[in-house]
Amino acid sequence: MPASTVRRTMYNIVADDLPAVRDFYATLLDMEVIYEAEWYTVLVPREGPRLELGIIARNSDVTPPAAARPPGGGYLTLIVDEVLVAFEQAKAMGAEIIEPPTDLFYGQRRMLLRDPAGTVVDISSPVPMMTA
């Protein structure tokens, strides 16, 4: 039997305050809303790969009960051109920064923060090449 073909890729964040989480990602990463209802919002990057970031009401009838609990055991990673730009924007927004941009052994510069719904977010970019 042939494998199923992936048609869309999305990650849903369960939130109590949808507008706060929407505004967090729209402001921090210049994402745009492509769908919005009282119980669900979908954002996408204005440029780049097509990832859909859904924000769904915790008390929605379609939110799986197992997902309605506060997040834990996972994190959302978003790769950007320059993490230092996102870091400055996060500071200006008053975002909860867990870890400032840090160069890691595998060639990425990463910052960790928490969105208004409590999701841990890893925003990373390649470490610039050093020149001699």
pTM (two decimals): 0.80
pLDDT tens track for 57-86? 988 887 888 788 876 677 898 989 999 999
CA distance 95 to 115: 7
Q: For residue 81, what are the domain limits? A: 10-61+70-126
**What burial letters (b/e) apply to 114-128, b meaning 16+ CB within 10 Å?**
bbbbebbbbbbbebe
Per the CB < 8 A criterion, the answer to whether 77 and 122 are in contact is yes
Domain membership flag for residue 42: yes
| Residue 10, pLDDT score | 87
In a domain, 131, yes or no: no
Please determine, for residue 89, whether its predicted confidence score (pLDDT) is greater than 90: yes
| Structural domains in the chain (count) | 1
Q: Within a domain: residue 2?
A: no
Please report whether residue 41 resides in a domain.
yes
Q: How sure is the predictor about 91, in pLDDT bands with cuts at 50, 70 and 90?
A: very high
Neighbours of 71 (CB within 10 A): 16
Is 105 a member of any domain? yes
What's 29's domain CATH number?
3.10.180.10
- In this structure, is the dihedral angle defined by the CA atoms of residues 19, 32, 85 and 98, taken in order, positive or negative? positive
Q: How far apart are CA 108 and CA 124, in angstroms?
A: 6
- Residue 15 within any structural domain of the chain: yes
